Amino acid sequence: MNNNNGWISVADKLPQLNQQVLVYQMPYGVNVFTYVQDDPETADVHWEDEYGHWRDADTVSHWMPLPEEPMEEKL
């Protein structure tokens, strides 16, 4: 079994709609995107960054959930 360092192939599974995740896409590398459905009446989806820029769904090959935020250490 190949765990691929936690990366999930979009061919195997997609994140939930409106879930913010790390994505890998060529030639851009790793970015944070949200998986968005364009129109509830169609199956059209895309990946959108925090600035509203988006990529077609077929440009992303892998994704993974965002890690938990760090907890502040108490002294």
User: What per-residue confidence (pLDDT) applies to 2?
Assistant: 56
Whole-angstrom Cα distance, residue 32 to residue 22? 5
What Cα–Cα distance (Å) separates residue 7 from each residue in 29, 55, 72?
13, 19, 27
Which residues does residue 22 pair with via DSSP β-bridges, in sequence order?
Answer: 32, 64
Instruction: Write down all domains in the chain, each with its CATH number in brackets.
Output: 4-65 (2.30.30)
Q: What is the pLDDT along the chain (75 residues), one digit of tens a residue?
A: 457 889 999 999 999 999 999 999 888 889 999 988 877 777 778 888 888 887 777 888 999 999 988 888 776
- Give this prediction's pTM: 0.78
Contact 8, 60 (CB under 8 A): no
C-alpha neighbours within 13 Å on the C-beta side of residue 13:
9
